[in-house]
Amino acid sequence: MARATTPRTVTNARTLRQNLSLPEALLWRLLKGQPQAIKFRRQHPIGPYILDFYAPAQKLAIEIDGAAHDMGDRPNRDATRDAWLREQGFEVLRIPASDILKDPTQVAEAILAYVSARK
């Protein structure tokens, strides 16, 4: 069952938009402005979660995974989150932060190609 987006989640998303991580900022610089007529949102609240990036027309969640996503209970939490998003009809694309730091343009181009192929 879908859980509603709470006011607290919306407030947290607004705060996160002002404090993007370096990989998120590098990627956002390339995705904002609707490249190839594809709209992206950053730090977008969906139910109890905040998506790093979201392409609403394609219902595509793009998550940037730093090193912390491999530690502790994060892999299980990410799996739970991904399962919930898929149950709601969203597709989840996970990208290692290290890939963005190496070549943000290549990652942005790959995302745009992926989204374009899904139209």
pLDDT band at 92 (very low <50, low <70, confident <90, very high): very high
Residue 85: what pLDDT?
Answer: 96
What's the whole-model pTM score?
A: 0.85
Best CA proximity match to 107, nearest among 49, 65, 50, 45: 65
pLDDT tens-digit readout, 54-82: 999 999 999 998 756 555 667 788 899 99
**Hey, what domains does the chain have and what are their CATH numbers?**
7-118 (3.40.960.10)
* Residues whose CB falls within 8 Å of the CB of residue 9, separated by 6 or more in sequence, listed in order: 45, 47, 48, 49, 50
Residue 6: what pLDDT?
Answer: 75
Residue 93: what pLDDT?
Answer: 95
**Residue range 8-35: average pLDDT?**
85
Has residue 1 got a pLDDT over 60? Answer: no
Average pLDDT along the chain: 88
